[in-house]
Structure 1
């Protein structure tokens, strides 16, 4: 199968959740033996328009991401000339959606739109029309599916596909030292780490330890808050850690706390739950984290620092685990098969199989 992936911007231009998600998808499809072509702005040196790397061919339709007019103008013919079996486009920027849709029409193949929701496009007539025109809309969570339905997308045309994790890697990683509570996220304005710190402060007369993984502009502020709350001697601010280090830390931890205000899919939390952590979620209207723990006896949903503190105490009565096979369906192979099944279903409905 030949797959045309459309994204003016890639992770080589800017490291965002949306771009990382798209890179993961194209790697999964490539590893399944399919031919992947990415239409994007050029990120490599030289004047050659195509660039092959790791068995993926990149087509530079513009010299940089600022030249989006050139990218959009060239895209439909470039797609048709490639002759793909399916067109798989990212939602950003909105200007590329109509061009990608036209390209799929010229090539007479299905058009699948990946709407991650990390950077939601402004609602406008063209964007909403193109979103509804896609043969299938793929989103990472029910939260983003709700946003799509609010744009007028038919619920039958929406498919929820989560971010994948590497189950074998989690199972084979040696656990780090034991810790009671762990938190992992970039420490920026959306981190809301103060909720966890205030909850832990409610338990200062108890025996516990905590680790905060991640760095960012608010790290010093959070370290000062921990000091002001007189709990800094029991919290380790570990800073940035590699994936291997994070997984090892999760396997040694008992509770993973998720308090971020905005999260379209909690990938780090998912890794932690698969690594055996009890999940404690502070509910926020723009976060999908609660979706992972609904109906699960090792998951808690809270709405205040007091409830969070109570949940940490209650979680202490649950068995310590270093792996939980409940989350095996989120493995990379399973997520890859979801995409390939969707591709084939769209081809079949278009009369191409």
Structure 2
């Protein structure tokens, strides 16, 4: 299948969660042998209009200081000439959804809109307009799906497809050192690590060890808080780790705690609970993390530091695991299948067999 992906900016321009998710979708399909092309603003040196990066072909629809306006003007005709089977567009900027819609119409193929929602969903004339153009809108969680519906999107076209993990990779990594509680996230103002530290401080009289993975502008403040709470000797801040190191740490840990204020999809938590951790989530209005543990017998949802402290104790009674096949449906191959199923259904609706 030939899929035309559309996003003015790529992860080469800005390494955001939204752009990382979009690139992941291309990689998933490329791994399955499909022909994937990213139509964007040029980011590479030289005058070539295309750039090959592994199995992904980038097409410079525009370049230079007027890249955005020329991108929007040229995109419909570029897509029509490309002859794709499906057009798959990102939601930022929302004006590109209209241009991609015209291109899909000219090519007579379905339009899929990827709306990740990192940073929230702002209601504007353009975002409201974008909700009515696609044949399908894909979001990473029910939380983002709700935001999109509130903008006016037809609920029948909104589908949830999670971020993927690699289950084989988890099983291949040797477990790291045993630890009771682990937390992983960039340590910025949204990390809300203080909730976990306060909960752990309630159990000074118990034997436990905790690890904090990640770095960021608030790290010093969190380390100071751990010291003020007299638990600094049992909380180890290890800084940033690569994926293999993090997976090893999760396989050695017993409990993963998620307390962030804002999270459109808890990818790191998913890696951890698939690697065997018990999952504890502190509920927040703008976080979808609780969706992963609802109805799961090794998951806890809490709403306060006191409940979080209780959940940590209760989680200690559950068996230690190093892998949980409950989350096989989040594997890269399974997530790729979900996208392909959407594409095929839409093409069937357009009369393609």
Contact 1:86-1:112 within 8 A present in 2 as well: yes
Question: What SS does structure 1 have at the residue aligned with 2:131?
Answer: helix
Aligned equivalent of 1:309: 309
**Within 5 A, what are the aligned runs for 1:6-17?**
6-17=6-17
Aligned equivalent of 1:191: 191
Corresponding residue pairs, total:
353
Aligned equivalent of 1:336: 336
Aligned equivalent of 1:248: 248
Which aligned segments of 4 or more residues in structure 1 are displaced greater than 4 angstroms?
none
> Is residue 229 of structure 1 aligned with residue 229 of structure 2?
yes
Give per-residue Cα distances to partners, 1:156-215, cap 9 Å, x unaligned.
111110000000110111000000000000111111001101111111111110000011
Aligned equivalent of 1:128: 128
Q: CA deviation at 1:352?
A: 2.0
Aligned equivalent of 1:94: 94
**Bigger shift: 63-72 or 79-88?**
63-72
Question: What SS does structure 1 have at the residue aligned with 2:233?
Answer: helix
Contact 2:186-2:214 within 8 A present in 1 as well: yes
Aligned equivalent of 2:28: 28
> Is residue 169 of structure 1 aligned with residue 146 of structure 2?
no
Unmatched 5+ stretches in structure 1: none
Q: CA deviation at 1:121?
A: 4.5
Contact 1:140-1:160 within 8 A present in 2 as well: yes
> Is residue 238 of structure 1 aligned with residue 238 of structure 2?
yes
Identify if the C-alpha distance between structure 1 residues 66 and 88 changes in structure 2 by more than 3 Å, giving closer, same or farther.
same
Q: CA deviation at 1:132?
A: 1.8
Please report the TM-score for the alignment, with normalisation by the length of structure 2.
0.98
Identify if the C-alpha distance between structure 1 residues 316 and 45 changes in structure 2 by more than 3 Å, giving closer, same or farther.
same
In structure 1, C-alpha distance between the alignment counterparts of 2:146 and 2:127, rounded to whole Å: 17
Contact 1:101-1:130 within 8 A present in 2 as well: no
Aligned equivalent of 1:201: 201
Aligned equivalent of 1:348: 348
Give per-residue Cα distances to partners, 1:39-60, cap 9 Å, x unaligned.
1111111111111121221111
In structure 1, C-alpha distance between the alignment counterparts of 2:115 and 2:236, rounded to whole Å: 36
Give per-residue Cα distances to partners, 1:79-134, cap 9 Å, x unaligned.
11111111000101112111011111111110000001113443223321222221
Identify if the C-alpha distance between structure 1 residues 11 and 30 changes in structure 2 by more than 3 Å, giving closer, same or farther.
same
In structure 2, C-alpha distance between the alignment counterparts of 1:345 and 1:320, rounded to whole Å: 41
In structure 1, C-alpha distance between the alignment counterparts of 2:237 and 2:64, rounded to whole Å: 38
Identify if the C-alpha distance between structure 1 residues 303 and 120 changes in structure 2 by more than 3 Å, giving closer, same or farther.
closer
In structure 2, C-alpha distance between the alignment counterparts of 1:215 and 1:84, rounded to whole Å: 42
Aligned equivalent of 1:276: 276
Question: What SS does structure 2 have at the residue aligned with 1:205?
Answer: coil
In structure 2, C-alpha distance between the alignment counterparts of 1:55 and 1:165, rounded to whole Å: 20
Aligned equivalent of 2:295: 295
Identify if the C-alpha distance between structure 1 residues 223 and 131 changes in structure 2 by more than 3 Å, giving closer, same or farther.
same
Contact 1:94-1:121 within 8 A present in 2 as well: no
Identify if the C-alpha distance between structure 1 residues 56 and 65 changes in structure 2 by more than 3 Å, giving closer, same or farther.
farther
Unmatched 5+ stretches in structure 2: none
Identify if the C-alpha distance between structure 1 residues 66 and 253 changes in structure 2 by more than 3 Å, giving closer, same or farther.
farther
In structure 2, C-alpha distance between the alignment counterparts of 1:209 and 1:63, rounded to whole Å: 52
Aligned equivalent of 1:74: 74
